[in-house]
Homo-oligomer: A and B are copies of this chain.
Amino acid sequence: MTDEFDLIATIVDALGDATTSENVVLGPGDDAAVLRLPPAHELVVSTDTLVEGRHYPADASPELVGYRALAVSVSDLAAMGAEPVAAVVSLTAKRLTERWAGAFARGIAEAARAFQTPIVGGNLARGDANICVAVHGSVPQGESLTRAGARAGDDLYVTGQIGGAGLALRSGLLKAQSISDVEPGSAQGRYWLPQPRLAVGQRLRGVASATIDVSDGLASDVEHICDASGVGCDIDLGDVPVFPGSDPTAAVCAGDDYELAFTASRTHAPAIRVIARETDTPIHRIGSLDDAPGARWRQGGKPISLAGGFRHF
């Protein structure tokens, strides 16, 4: 059995320069990490867990699992309008080899560099496979975006395309050996290599009234905004930008997209067009908010019922 401390050394070695940044005062190896926040900023914290066999296939490439584990957590920072500062990673596994651990760490390091989120600490334990990531970001005091500020009359928007990850999952397209095997824009890439909308999230500070990342499925996540804000929403399925090849109903019920859904006053429509152009991100208006409770879906003007979003529990 490989020794715990040897495995930690393998992981830290594979992380390379992905453990440090100007914000990191003390990285992995002590009782805790020490981080610096910019002055007059608040700390944004979120945690996510991936369970083997539930959130990724047991035979999945460890490099892809590592990349995805960090990316889905960083997406929560994007939804708050935050800039990433660092992450800590707890890895539980039954039989952890140096090979698996090294490949996992290379994957997470690739995401750490892509999203400027150094890995500053973690934990190793023996047990059934479970990956728990806590991410930390910073946001100027009082400027974080939440789910709770949407108002009747606001418009509802979504970034990118919806349903790619769900299509990959339903079509059994998850098999790949490594990050370089996966085409980022493909359905498979949408599942394994989510690209948190950090630039858009940060630009939405002072513009969006409510924001959420699309992790449970667009249908579910729009309900979360409506519930938290005490508003309702009218959406036509035909207005949702759907990943090519995906059925629109399946797309809005599937999770794992890690796009942003947000609301904004109509007066901000020009600002949102500028954000879309300057961040090179498709942003579509897909509905409008009112005082009637809940999200009401239509297709071609006719009310439809959705099975409900993907519930990841």
Query: Measuring CB to CB, which residues of chain A are less than 8 angstroms from any residue of chain B?
Result: 3-4, 7, 25-26, 29-37, 39, 42-55, 76-77, 79-80, 82, 85-86, 88-90, 92, 120-128, 130, 132, 134-137, 139, 144, 146-148, 211-213, 228, 311-313
In the complex, the answer to whether B4 meets A47 with C-beta atoms within 8 Å is no
The interface residues of chain B lying within 8 Å CB-to-CB of A82 are: 32
Nearest-Cβ distance from residue A244 to partner chain B, whole angstroms: 28
In the complex, the answer to whether B137 meets A32 with C-beta atoms within 8 Å is yes
Q: How far is the CA of A90 from the CA of B50 in the complex (A)?
A: 10
The interface residues of chain B lying within 8 Å CB-to-CB of A52 are: 127
The interface residues of chain B lying within 8 Å CB-to-CB of A44 are: 32-35
Number of copies of chain A assembled together:
2
Could you give 17 example pairs across A and B, Cβ below 8 Å? A4-B311, A7-B313, A31-B76, A31-B146, A32-B46, A32-B135, A35-B42, A35-B43, A47-B132, A47-B134, A48-B123, A51-B126, A54-B127, A92-B130, A127-B128, A127-B130, A128-B128
In the complex, the answer to whether B4 meets A123 with C-beta atoms within 8 Å is no
